[in-house]
Amino acid sequence: MSPGSGPHTAERRGRPRDSGTDSAIIETVLRLMEEGATIGALSIERIARETGVGKATVYRRWSGKDALLVDVMKSLEETAPPLKGESVRNDLVSCLEFARRRGLAKRSSAVLRNVLGQIHSNPGLWGQYQETVIATRREAMHEVLRRGVHTGEIRPGVDLDLLSDLFTGPLLARAVLRPDGSLEEGLQEGLSEQIVDTVLAGVAPPPVAGG
């Protein structure tokens, strides 16, 4: 075997991956989704053509469409602002406000609608969306809810998974299921506050007798 040869020689001698091309391909997918293309209608061939590259260029970067879509979802991720930890109620409002503002973003909304449409036909992609996007936010809310139980603002024994759904469900319904609903701040001033206060009122501990 000649010096420098081996199983990874071709990889070392190949051209380095161009991050600009990666970004251009992801941008193309996002644009097509914004324009109304569904995941089912997107093909590697179409994505490559719209980006102005060959299919081989896409396949050198991703093993297939699902792998590419996972990176598309990751590209939209933002770091949630740190919670102050002074008030369970205010921290819950902050969690919902972050989600509400993301729902107003056309790209985030387009990706969400697309992925929701794949729940049954592509459970693997839905699972990746759960791991990539939903799990971190859900755990952040659960941490606040556990603190609320500890401080006595939420009665013990409440199912935290169900409670989390009660907080986030109205936003999801307005973003996906109700075309007449709105997440716009001007039209729904204090929407996050209304949701939090309504749900917390239902799970607060009962008043102390004689108090």
What is the C-alpha to C-alpha distance for residues 91 and 82, in angstroms, rounded to an integer?
9
SS3 annotation, 62-103: CCCHHHHHHHHHHHCCCCCCCCCCCCHHHHHHHHHHHHHHHH
CATH topology of domain 88-203: Tetracycline Repressor; domain 2 (1.10.357)
Contacts of 196 (CB under 8 A, 6+ apart): 89, 92, 93, 96, 167
164: nearest Cα among 194, 196, 117: 196
DSSP 53: S
0.75 surpassed by pTM: no
- Other CB atoms within 10 Å distance of the CB of residue 92: 26
* Per-residue model confidence as pLDDT tens digits over 128-183: 878 877 888 889 999 999 999 999 999 999 999 999 999 999 888 877 766 555 56
Q: DSSP 3-state assignment of 38?
A: coil
* pLDDT by 10s per residue, the chain, length 211: 444 444 433 333 444 566 789 999 999 999 999 888 988 889 999 999 999 999 999 999 999 999 999 898 888 877 888 888 889 999 999 999 888 887 777 777 788 778 877 777 888 888 887 887 788 888 999 999 999 999 999 999 999 999 999 999 988 887 776 655 556 654 445 889 999 999 999 999 887 665 5
Mean pLDDT of the chain: 82
Domain ranges of the chain: 18-75, 88-203
What is the C-alpha to C-alpha distance for residues 48 and 144, in angstroms, rounded to an integer?
44
Contacts of 31 (CB under 8 A, 6+ apart): 50
CATH superfamily label, 18-75: Tetracycline Repressor, domain 2 (1.10.357.10)
Domain pair 18-75 / 88-203, same fold:
yes
